Structure 1
Amino acid sequence: MASAYLQVIAHYFAKPGNGDAIVKPLTERAAATRAEPKNLYYEFFRSPVDADHFVILEQYSDADGLAVHRETPHFQRLGFGTIIPLLDRREVTSHMVSGDAA
């Protein structure tokens, strides 16, 4: 049986026309996040219908993994410093997934 993990689903809605400006910093943040000890998975996807809408899927080995992620220099610089100011809004949810979930 696999151990439990934290699943994070984030929706980023860029200010109109700012989707292209978010791709490079999201790509850089994804690579840095994948190197974090508690990160198990990190990918982002751009909507084919709305170029300003992104979905980010993240998994961490425990609930603390997300808190640690948000304090990293790359999240502070790329997230708070670069990406978030370009957003109209963001919606982030997280859920613990039990080890015996299919």
Structure 2
Amino acid sequence: MHVTLVHVHVKPESVPAFLAATRLNHEASVREPGNRRFDVLQDPADVTHFILYEAYASAEDAAAHKQTPHYAAWRDTVAEMMARPRQGVPMQGLYPAG
């Protein structure tokens, strides 16, 4: 399983708009054929820090996600909301098995 932990730091005033845009991306992403999980996590100690837990059956499925209209809409919508560039950390998902 191909997993990416995407760390996102949002400007404080942009948190509500970020959440709205991210909900739309989440709802479409979980319907993608290769998607296994697409969790949106918020740090309770820093409400401007989010982690997107993106799990796909394969690296190809993860790459296909980046070609979807909902991803492009999310990326463009939240670009100015970022306090700093988002950071994707690739991980190898072991359990549950892909």
Scaled by the length of structure 1, what TM-score is found?
A: 0.84
Give the letter aligned to residue 87 of structure 1.
M
**1:1-102 alignment to 2 at 5 Å?**
5-78=1-74, 80-88=75-83, 89-98=85-94
Aligned residues: 96
Structure 2 unaligned regions, length at least 5: none
Bigger Cα Rg: 1
Structure 1 unaligned regions, length at least 5: none
Give the letter aligned to residue 84 of structure 1.
A
Map Cα deviations across residues 43-101 of structure 1 (whole Å, 9 max, x no partner). 101121222111111110001111100110000012x2111221122110112334787
Write out the 4+ residue segments of structure 1 that deviate beyond 4 Å after TM superposition: 98-101
